[in-house]
A and B are shown apart, each in its own frame.
Chain A
Amino acid sequence: MSETETAGAPPAQATYYLRAEGITKVYSDGTVALKAADVELHTHEIMGLLGENGAGKTTLTKILSGLLPPTQGRVVSPKGPVRFSSPREALDFGIGMVHQHFALVGPFTAAENIALSHERPFTTIQLARTREQLEALMAESGLHVPLDVPVEKLAVGEQQRVEILKVLSRDVDLLILDEPTSVLTPLEVDELFDLLRKLKEQGTSIILITHKLKEVQSITNRIVVLRHGEMVGDVRTEDATTERLAQLMVGQAVEGEAVAVELKDEELPTRVQRGKVDRAGESVLHVEHLTAKGNTGEIAVNDLTFDVYGGEIFGIAGVEGNGQTELVESLTGLRVPISGTATIRGTNILGVSPRQIYRLGVAHIPEDRWELGLVLPFTLAENAILGVHQWEEFKGPLSFLRWGKINRHVRELMDRFEIRAAGPSAPAKSLSGGNQQKLIVGRELAKDPAIIVASQPTRGLDIGSAKYIRDLLEEMRDKGRAILLVSADLDEVLARADRIAIMYEGKFMKVCAPSELNREQIGLLMGGVTDEEAS
């Protein structure tokens, strides 16, 4: 806590609305998401909560809104300590949260959705009364949504306003918004911010979770910065420079800070010193003017052109949700981009099925191992052949599966990649996260690929497994394979990549060797501030 910066002590002491004292959260798998965080919230204030992925922003707000109990520490209101065992209790108290993923019933209208959220067990839904309340509330707050259209027909920005209205209709004093701007167009962002300012004037306390530096500076009064679960800054917005915020957010790899950033950074020096890329290999993946849309129809990948060469790890850093997922999906046959070209050693891979792409020597370590990488109810063996089940060595006459051979192959994988499991017929869901990921990595590397597309390959893993997987990727690099490493973990990309690209809103802000940038510059680039703007 010694490094916490406390420039923004509020003027009058007793005016806080809610105070989180020494909140620590340890998840059941041992992850420490939050370490002794102290946050004070005030009415008439918008507080920005800034931090990288996994910094603990969401955990903190989940504790405040009753979704999670803290492991240690307490939440105090001026009337005494409060404790919520469900979001409903938090709502009754006056705390409401708008999540990144909306909780709306698509075919229902806004009025129906909101009436539904007011429902108590064994009571009827009072649609007419809710409507009246909503109309009054809309007039008062200036927040307007069409009440009688099925919400699935509304634009994303409107759906978000329905969510906000839903929370406001419960008479909240504290409104928490989780990355509210990530799905909005610039115009919708302006509208949202106008609304938030108005609500602030009316006395609502607002927490805005974000990673966009410009946004947080334009609207908040106070900014709290979290890094690796620790509160590293609590500053008044007018006192904060963009550089300082970026520095707080990504941390510095200098002096006394090293302790706070933990084991990850011990890998840093050697790799960064390695410096210049010796581009020995030839271009394996060539991408030109690639543009792809996201799930909600926005441009997620915006006119990207780049090469990945054999014998290098090309790292894409950036905060999640800036088009990395769409880029990877476009390159692996899971998404059809709207324009551009991508080739692997001259063969087109856009709009081609995953099966054909794998034949060209592509291995894909997907970012979501539960949704994409594994069929959880399947056994280890069944998962170990996903995508390679058509291989001749596993197939007998009449496309019979040769389980004997497959099981032998799986045992080899288990030995080679240190997958700890009861055996080939253990269900994949019985494995720990690290072993599940090793299974995926093992399966993909066993393809002996020309290029490995690794998306968040170490997310959520313990330090040992993460290091192991990073080492494997380097080993493949040293064998001359091309590796595209997409990761929200900046330390990982800095430590392991030979070249890095920093992605922001579908574009590369900069492509260079990791040693050419310091952390502050990277933080700025990740927050959407270009080189010129920063200098």
Chain B
Amino acid sequence: MSESKRSIESRLLRGAHRTLTGLSPAVESLLAAVVGLLIGAILMYIWGFNPWKAYIALFKGAYGGSYEIASSLARATPLILTALTFSICLRSGMFNIGAEGQLFMGATASILVAYMALPAPLGQIVGLILAAIAGAAWSLVPAFLKLTRGVSEVISTIMFNWIARWLVLYLAIFILGDPNRAEKTLSIPLAARFPVMVRGTDLSYTIFVSVAFALLIYFVLWHTTVGYEVRAAGLNPTAARYGGIRNKRTMFLSFILGGIAAGLAGATITMGQPPTYAIYGGAAMPQLTNVGFDGMAVAMVGRNHPIGIIIAAVFFGGLNAGGRVMQFYGSNPVPLELVRVVMGAIVLAMSIPELIRIFPSVKKQGQELVGLFRRLTRKPVKEEQA
């Protein structure tokens, strides 16, 4: 074998590794953003668009004025919360893919406020509490299955997303439906809505709910014994057990906190997004769909840290809002499909540093799933030979 070549390769790799691992997370993410933007630019250039102009359109659409900033923040509001769902659970070593379903349940529960005639601050509070309880309850079943029967939480939470989706659709049509308008549920009454902050935009005071919850999670994780136990169990379950930490308890707790976050995310949509203040749109349910999944990408970009997540969500909201502007920007209209490719490249690039950091846990999950798949698909005949 070519020994010298191998050693040069390995030396290069080791050098690159040393350089890259010495960076602070913030610098890493910034570098990743530059790489992502560059890839996007190359793609647009290849298809004959001016990347510079397109990115100016993107920026202007995202943060170019008070209206744009407000739109970006409005989009960030539920994303902060669903990103927290994923991060809290990951910090305790679990993969909670169920923010989507938990958000659906939270949104639906908040509609119940429509049946109560509550005065101003009480209506909002009750709505949030109902949503939090519903989200937490929906996350409890997968958590319980995991802890008692060892059911993979990846699979159970994904399944619960679908159960939630169709359950909510049923409830929206048959139970909570608006008697006057078939396409939507009852609306949150005026007194219980979160007022709009910037007139003409859909940015409401719910953003404070999101930010406050993110800060709360930060304090819980880094400044309380409970959070300390969650993080210890997530980083090294064996050492945590040695340290007298009950790992099952921390997992359970992180699932509840995650469920609360996702439930609240649902409430920020129903209670704080004009114009309908209801679940609408039939089976598509456009305001709720994919917010949970996007949250996972936000969590990656935000390095699974509550403060990073707030920043990442605002960035993500900006990408969403600005992406639309790229499509109809004067002389250089980039088609929607390419806009999505560019967005994808940017998000992917920015997720990579964190994906590398959490790779061991991702790998462990993957192996578990592969093992499960093998066991399920193996023909039973072969058992007899054992």
Taking a contact as CB atoms under 8 Å apart, the answer to whether B224 and A146 are in contact is no
Taking each of B232, B239, B246, B374, which has the highest tally of chain A beta carbons within 10 Å of its own beta carbon? B239
Residues of A within 8 A of B355 (CB): none
Binary per-residue interface labels of chain B (50-61) against chain A in the complex, 1 for a CB within 8 Å, 0 otherwise: 000000000000
B386 touches A149 (CB 8 A): yes
Q: What string of 1s and 0s marks CB contacts (under 8 Å) between A132-158 and chain B?
A: 000000000000001011100110000
A6 within 8 A of B: no
Stretch from A40-48, A202-210, A392-400 at the B interface: A392-400
Binary interface encoding of chain B residues 292-315 relative to chain A, with 1 for a CB under 8 A from any of its CBs, else 0:
000000000000000000000000
Q: Name A102-123 residues within 8 Å CB distance of B.
A: 106-109
A27 adjacent to chain B (CB < 8 Å):
no
Tell me if A358 and B244 are in contact (CB < 8 A): yes
B240 at the interface (CB under 8 A from A): yes
Indicate if the CB atoms of A150 and B243 lie closer than 8 Å.
no
List residues of B (221-273) whose CB comes within 8 Å of A's CBs.
223-226, 228-229, 231-232, 235-236, 238-246
How distant is the Cα of A373 from the Cα of B243 in the complex, in angstroms? 8
Separation of A504 and B6 alpha carbons in the complex (Å) = 45
Q: Is A399 a contact partner of B226 (Cβ separation < 8 A)?
A: yes
> What band does the interface of chain A fall in when counting residues whose beta carbon is under 8 Å from B?
35 or more
Residues of B within 8 Å of A389, CB to CB, are 225, 228-229, 243
CA distance A387 to B229 in the complex (A): 10
How far apart are B189's CB and chain A's nearest CB, in angstroms? 34
Question: A227-258: which have CB < 8 Å to B?
Answer: none
B197 within 8 A of A: no
Residue of A nearest to B373 (CB): A107
Cβ-defined contact, B235 with A378, below 8 A: yes
Asked if B374 and A108 sit within 8 Å, CB to CB, the answer is: yes
- Considering only CB atoms, which chain B residue lies closest to A148 in the complex? B382
Would you give the shortest CB distance from B10 to chain A, in whole angstroms? 10
Given contacts A375-B235, A378-B232, A386-B232, contact A366 B242 (CB under 8 A): yes
In the complex, A85 has a CB within 8 A of chain B: yes
Q: How far is the CA of A532 from the CA of B189 in the complex (A)?
A: 90
Q: Contacts A85-B1, A85-B3, A148-B382 given; indicate if A354 touches B242 (C-beta within 8 A).
A: yes
* A382 interfacial contact with B, CB 8 Å: yes
A353 and B371 contacting across the interface, CB-CB below 8 Å:
no
B363 surroundings in chain A (CB, below 8 A):
none
- Scoring B1, B243, B371 by chain A CB atoms within 10 A of each residue's CB, the highest score goes to B243
A373–B1 CA distance with the chains assembled, in angstroms: 41
* Contact pattern, B 361-377, Cβ under 8 Å of A = 1, otherwise 0: 00000000011001100
Contact pick for A364, options B1, B242, B375, CB 8 Å:
B242
- Interchain CB contact (< 8 A) of B239 among A154, A355, A371: A371
CB–CB B238/A372 < 8 A: yes
Which residues does chain A contribute within 8 Å of B149, judged by CB atoms?
Answer: none
Flag A80-104 by CB within 8 Å of B: 1 or 0 each. 0001011001000000000000000
A364-B242, A401-B228 given; name 6 further pairs at CB < 8 Å: A109-B382, A148-B382, A354-B242, A399-B224, A400-B224, A401-B224
Contact with B along A345-367 (1 / 0, CB 8 A): 00000000111001000001010
CB contacts (< 8 Å) of B242 on chain A: these are 332, 334, 354, 364, 366, 372-373, 386-387
B382's nearest neighbour on chain A, judged by CB, is: A148
Q: Does B24 contact A (CB under 8 A)?
A: no
Q: Across the interface, which residues of B come within 8 angstroms of A400, CB to CB?
A: 223-224
Contact residues of B: prevailing secondary structure: helix
B17 at the interface (CB under 8 A from A): no
Q: A residues within 8 Å of B by Cβ? A: 83, 85-86, 89, 106-109, 146, 148-150, 153-154, 332, 334, 353-355, 358, 364, 366, 371-378, 382, 385-387, 389-390, 394-395, 398-401, 403
> Which of A86, A353, A372, A382 is close to B228, meaning CB atoms less than 8 Å apart?
A382
**CB within 8 Å for A371 and B238 given contacts A108-B374, A354-B244:** yes
Q: Which residue of B lies closest to A356 (CB)?
A: B244
Q: For A403, what are the chain B residues with a Cβ–Cβ distance below 8 Å?
A: 223
Check if B181 is an interface residue, CB within 8 A of chain A: no
Is B385 an interface position by the 8 A CB rule?
yes
User: Once bound together, how far apart are the Cα atoms of A430 and B55, in whole Å?
Assistant: 41
- Which one of A358, A400, A403 has the greatest number of beta carbons of chain B within 10 Å? A400
A346, B126: Cα distance in complex, Å: 53
CB neighbours of B385 from chain A (8 A)? 146, 148-149
**Are B239 and A373 touching (Cβ within 8 A)?**
yes
CA of A341 to CA of B293, assembled, Å: 51
A330 to B290, alpha carbons, bound, how many Å? 48
Q: How many residues of B contact A (CB 8 A)?
A: 31
What 9 A-B pairs come out closest when comparing CB atoms?
A355-B244, A107-B374, A387-B243, A386-B243, A354-B244, A375-B236, A399-B225, A372-B242, A107-B371
**19 residue pairs A–B, Cβ–Cβ below 8 Å:** A85-B3, A108-B374, A148-B382, A334-B242, A353-B244, A354-B243, A355-B246, A364-B242, A372-B242, A375-B232, A378-B231, A386-B242, A386-B243, A387-B244, A389-B225, A390-B225, A398-B224, A401-B225, A401-B228
Question: Whole-angstrom distance between the alpha carbons of A86 and B9 in the complex?
Answer: 14
Chain A residues lying within 8 Å of B235, measured Cβ to Cβ, are: 375-378
- A155, chain B: closest CB distance, angstroms: 10
A377 CB, nearest partner CB in chain B, Å: 5
Task: State which of B1, B6, B239, B375 has its C-beta within 8 Å of the C-beta of A372.
Answer: B239
Assembled-state Cα–Cα distance A395/B375 (Å): 46
Report B335-385 residues with CB < 8 Å from chain A CB. Answer: 370-371, 374-375, 378, 382-383, 385
For the complex, what is the distance from the CA of A147 to the CA of B160, rounded to whole Å?
39
Once the chains are docked, how many angstroms separate the CA of A403 from the CA of B225? 11
Tell me the smallest distance from the CB of B23 to a CB of chain A, in Å: 15
Min CB distance, A176 to chain B, in Å?
Answer: 21
By a CB distance below 8 angstroms, the chain A residues around B238 are 371-372
Question: How close is B128's CB to chain A, nearest CB, in angstroms?
Answer: 21
Chain A residue nearest to B3 (CB atoms) is: A85
Distance in angstroms between the alpha carbons of A487 and B338 in the assembled complex = 64
| Complex alpha-carbon distance, A47 and B245, angstroms | 47
Cβ-defined contact, B370 with A386, below 8 A: no
- Residue of chain B at shortest CB distance from A368: B238
Chain B contacts for A401, CB-based, 8 A = 223-225, 228
* Residue contact B239 to A386, C-beta cutoff 8 Å: yes
Name the residue in B225, B231, B245 with the highest tally of chain A Cβ atoms < 10 Å from its Cβ.
Answer: B225
Question: Which residues of the other chain, A, contact B232 by a CB distance below 8 angstroms?
Answer: 375, 378, 382, 386
Q: Is A375 within 8 A of B382, CB to CB?
A: no
By a CB distance below 8 angstroms, the chain A residues around B231 are: 378
- Given A107-B375, A149-B385, A353-B244, residue A374 in contact with residue B225 (CB < 8 A): no
Question: Considering the chains assembled together, what is the distance between the CA atoms of A364 and B238 in angstroms?
Answer: 14
Q: Report chain B residues within 8 Å CB of A148.
A: 382, 385
Inter-chain CA distance A247–B212, complex, in Å, is 70
CB distance from A116 to the nearest CB of B (A): 13
Q: With a CB–CB cut-off of 8 A, which chain A residues contact B375?
A: 107
B378 contacts A354, CB within 8 Å? no
B190 CB to closest chain A CB, in angstroms?
36
Residues on B with beta carbons closer than 8 Å to the beta carbon of A83: 3
